[in-house]
């Protein structure tokens, strides 16, 4: 037994991710009251770091919540899809995976009408079908990186349609923000939801929405108190501090996110993270291919963040999961109909080249 085997396993699931030592150490900073100026310094650094991640969000309002990625998506959907009693109409949802379907479920749960444009999980978005239903819609909801399969959806195409029809684009960018470029289309009004603990390498507990100012000009559509982003934009005037958040924030998660955003910027920002993920994902695809695992999607349709592979006949997910865990890696199962037939490998988190080399060796030893 080498000491490496006693180290905690590296996480190859799409969040929560393996932390750097620096981010982990950032958790043991002083306890803070969120109504004190010391907290303002932390939240302001996080907000500034978030809007610097991608040029598409440079002018956006950063809204930080306590919750998992789903909380950010739900807040975005709640707030920026008008209520049926304040506007006629419907929202359009693009669904080619678990997370697109989840946004449709959010609309249904809040009593908002939706037209859902569905594609099979292994297919791309049908832009013509979206274009056909978009006129008159109050919002277009889509997933940037559909983590169900690893597909990078054509958000540039969706953004062009949204801009052409004057419909806001609400994007679940939970598993792509920080590693894949957001669409930049003139005239587009958009909001993006994501979390601290996927491509940004923070810890669970903090999530955020980056929204164009123009979205706040319509009345809030929220049918909920906690998920109404108007409250996060204008915290109660009774709070003494400008940095205040309306509800108790995930203070330690924000310590970690501030540190993770510093590391992200120092390491070269989005292009550097994209390139590192791309290299690691390519190496993993080559290793799997040599072992007879076919990729679910062609390289040109996948994100750099996560790859899905068909399990060869006679190979069970549980078996390779357990054997890789013994060798220091936690992998991820497929979902729904793909659960028993595929394996997913994400490269988010503090994974170094030598970790991927060790993974390659561990996979070769399975053969």
Ligand X SMILES: *Cc1c(COP(=O)(O)O)cnc(C)c1O
Contacting residues toward ligand X, per CB under 6 A: 14-15, 68-70, 73, 99, 143, 145, 147, 172, 174-175, 195
HSE-up of 223 (CA within 13 Å, CB side)?
15
- Rounded to an integer, what distance in angstroms lies between the CA atom of residue 237 and that of residue 260? 31
Express the helix, strand and coil content of the chain in percent, nearest 5 each. 40, 15, 45
Token representation of residue 157: 């195409």
Instruction: Tell me the H-state helices in the chain.
Output: 21-25, 37-51, 69-80, 98-109, 127-133, 155-165, 229-233, 251-266, 269-290, 317-326, 353-366
Closest separation between CB of residue 355 and ligand X, Å? 21
Q: C-beta of 232: minimal distance to ligand X in Å?
A: 18
Alpha carbon of 130 to those of 155, 172, 228, 283, 326: distances in Å? 12, 17, 27, 35, 46
Q: Is the CB of 68 or the CB of 287 nearer to ligand X?
A: 68
Place of tokens 């309306």: 246
Q: Give least dist CB 192 to ligand X, A.
A: 12
What minimum distance in Å lies between the beta carbon of 8 and ligand X? 20
Shortest distance, position 176 Cβ to ligand X, whole Å = 7
Residue with Cβ nearer ligand X (96 or 220): 96
Rounded to a whole number of angstroms, the minimum distance from the CB of residue 305 to ligand X is: 9
- Which tokens hold the place of 65? 């919540």
Give the nearest residue (CB) to ligand X: 69
The tokens for 160 are 């062009």
Q: Are 98 and 308 in contact (CB under 8 A)?
A: no
Closer to ligand X by CB, 61 or 199: give it. Answer: 199
Separation of alpha carbons 20 and 259, rounded Å: 10
Under a CB-based contact definition with an 8 Å cutoff, are residues 125 and 154 in contact? Answer: yes
Helical axes 317-326 vs 353-366, angle rounded to 10°: 130
Q: Is the dihedral of CA 37, 41, 46, 51 positive or negative?
A: positive
| CB nearer ligand X, residue 147 or residue 308 | 147
Asked whether 232 and 64 are in contact (CB, 8 A), the reply is yes
Give the nearer residue to ligand X in terms of CB position, either 70 or 301.
70
Closer of 32 and 182 to ligand X (Cβ): 182
Rounded least distance, CB 282 to ligand X, Å: 21
| Alpha-carbon distances of 245 from 32, 34, 51, 63, 300, rounded to whole Å | 13, 8, 17, 9, 41
> In angstroms, what is the minimal distance from the CB of 174 to ligand X?
4
Write phi, then psi, for 189 (nearest 5 degrees).
Answer: -110, 125
Whether 230 and 20 have beta carbons less than 8 Å apart is answered as: no
By beta-carbon proximity to ligand X, the closer residue of 39 and 154 is 154
User: Residue 175 or 259: which CB sits closer to ligand X?
Assistant: 175
Minimum distance, C-beta of residue 22 to ligand X, in the bound complex (Å) = 22
Q: Give the nearer residue to ligand X in terms of CB position, either 147 or 281.
A: 147
For residue 62, the surrounding DSSP H or E stretch is strand 61-66
């Amino acid at each position: 037994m080498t000491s490496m085997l006693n180290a905690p396993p590296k996480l190859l699931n799409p969040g929560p991710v393996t932390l750097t030592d620096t981010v982990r150490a950032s958790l043991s900073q002083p306890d803070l009251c969120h109504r004190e100026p010391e907290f303002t310094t932390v939240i302001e650094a996080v907000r500034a770091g978030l809007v610097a991640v991608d040029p598409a969000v440079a002018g956006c309002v950063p809204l930080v919540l306590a919750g998992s990625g789903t909380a950010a998506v739900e807040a975005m959907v709640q707030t920026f899809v008008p209520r049926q009693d304040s506007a006629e109409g419907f929202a359009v949802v693009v669904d080619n995976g678990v997370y697109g379907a989840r946004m449709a479920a959010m609309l249904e749960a809040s009593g908002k009408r939706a037209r859902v444009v569905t594609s099979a999980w292994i297919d791309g978005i049908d832009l013509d079908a979206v274009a056909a239903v978009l006129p008159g819609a109050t919002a277009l909801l889509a997933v940037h990186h559909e983590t169900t399969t690893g597909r990078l959806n054509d958000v540039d195409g969706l953004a062009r349609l949204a801009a052409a029809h004057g419909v806001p684009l609400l994007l679940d960018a939970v598993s792509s923000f920080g590693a894949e470029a957001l669409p930049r289309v003139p005239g587009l009004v958009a909001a993006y939801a994501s979390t601290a603990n996927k491509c940004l390498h923070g810890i669970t507990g903090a999530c955020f929405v980056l929204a164009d100012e123009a979205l706040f000009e319509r009345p809030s559509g929220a049918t909920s108190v906690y998920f109404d982003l108007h409250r996060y934009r204008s915290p109660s005037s009774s709070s003494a501090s400008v940095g205040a958040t309306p509800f108790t924030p995930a203070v330690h998660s924000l310590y970690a996110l501030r540190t993770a955003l510093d590391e992200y910027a120092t390491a070269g920002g989005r292009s550097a993270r994209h390139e590192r993920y791309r290299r690691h994902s390519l190496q993993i695809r080559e290793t799997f291919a040599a072992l007879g695992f076919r990729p679910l999607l062609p390289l040109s349709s996948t994100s750099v963040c996560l790859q899905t592979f068909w399990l060869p006949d006679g190979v069970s997910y549980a078996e390779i999961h357990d054997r890789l865990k013994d060798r220091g890696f936690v992998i991820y199962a497929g979902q729904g109909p793909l659960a028993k037939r595929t394996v997913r490998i994400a490269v988010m988190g503090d994974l170094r080249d030598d970790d991927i080399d060790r993974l390659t060796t561990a996979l070769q030893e399975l053969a």
